[in-house]
Chain A
């Protein structure tokens, strides 16, 4: 596949669907094909490589499964927020719905990529958002902002460790979407652009975003895992 054809797939949903059909898929998971396309479509990529390449896949798979866990967490949270009926404002409700759908697309794409690389996708974690939701809308939106800022920082923290350049490209395409979500939610909850307080470490304090490593992110999301 040529580079421009890959771009077209990434840019055009109908062309993604066509590509997915071409692969013999059901056509339901259109976004996943962005990743499939990003991972190359030559047969060699399907068979497990040897030597150093196995280690490359192993560490990339660990990162992808870590990202998948975070995306599961985010998708599940938006589902619960919408189901709770807490959000009455239409603009905020639309945003939550759209963000939730996007996180689900990330889940699908990461799952497909992990399989493509010969790995086993992790299962969705059991989450614990009830306490947050019980505290009301403000706490809920604040938590959404926190989780999105963590997500952006988590992707940024892994960028330098991803071995496969095409997995990197895909992770970057998700990274900036998490950042957009984070910025929108920060704005909604009145944290302003630079943010402060409890978010220090997971939100930029100016012109340069801060990465977080895996241990710090896992620690930060612990309260939301059952």
Chain B
């Protein structure tokens, strides 16, 4: 199975097989049309199929922007938040490093697909680091948003290798979310089915953290 090679080093070398984007699109369009008729596809999927083959890069750049945001969030938290326990401090550093690896992997994947990686956004986390509680609350929001973003975008991914990579990352985001939630003493898995958010909803959710 292709996805079995999806451990960190291989992530950087993901290729979209030997097929052209057009061939990929043709195949998915035909398959989706044959199986379900175009009417039952969601708006997101319809849009992705209608796009000129740039869909996966767009999704990866969207994910990259979120990972940049998360990584910078923990970089600053590790320096600025007072009153964390040893475990909380270790967790913060572990999450920071995980997000940095996600940034690297997504950047490499976008380049491999012939795309241009998004540049790091300027961020502003306001008063998030003023206290342990406000840091953890914001972390909780960011991680849950990350999970819903990947889950919302993943079905529109055309390449199974890119999908496997996204799946391998979102599972970690979900684990982050659960661990941050446990520290906050709130339910680690409050829903039986995690949310899948559309791109716009995610962008709205993170807008307060992006500096103008």
Contact = CB atoms under 8 A, between A and B. Distances in A.
Do A and B form a real pair? Answer: yes
A156 B98 contact: no
B63 interface: no
Interface residue tally on B, bucketed by range: 35 or more
B145 to A, nearest CB: 12
Interface string A29-72: 00100100000101011000101110011000000000000000
A99 B194 CA distance: 14
Nearest to B170: A176
A181 interface: yes
A119 interface: no
A211 interface: yes
Contacts, number: 207
B34 A49 contact: yes
Interface of B: 1-4, 6-8, 11, 31-32, 34-37, 39-45, 91, 94, 97-99, 101-102, 105, 147, 150-151, 154-156, 160-161, 163-164, 167-179, 181-182, 187-189, 191-196, 198
Q: Is the interface of A mostly helix, strand, loop or mixed?
A: helix
A166 B39 CA distance: 13
Contact of B196 (A160, A169, A182): A169
B155 A177 contact: no
Interface residues of A, number: 61
Interface of A: 3, 6-7, 10-11, 31, 34, 40, 42, 44-45, 49, 51-53, 56-57, 95, 98-99, 101-102, 105-106, 109, 152, 156-157, 159-161, 163-166, 168-170, 172-177, 179-184, 187, 193-194, 204, 206-211, 213
B86 to A, nearest CB: 13
A95 B182 CA distance: 11
9 contacts: A11-B195, A31-B193, A44-B39, A53-B36, A156-B167, A160-B163, A168-B154, A177-B194, A180-B177
A98 B91 CA distance: 25
B193 to A, nearest CB: 4
- Residue of B35, B155, B178, B181 with most chain A CB atoms under a 10 A cut-off: B35
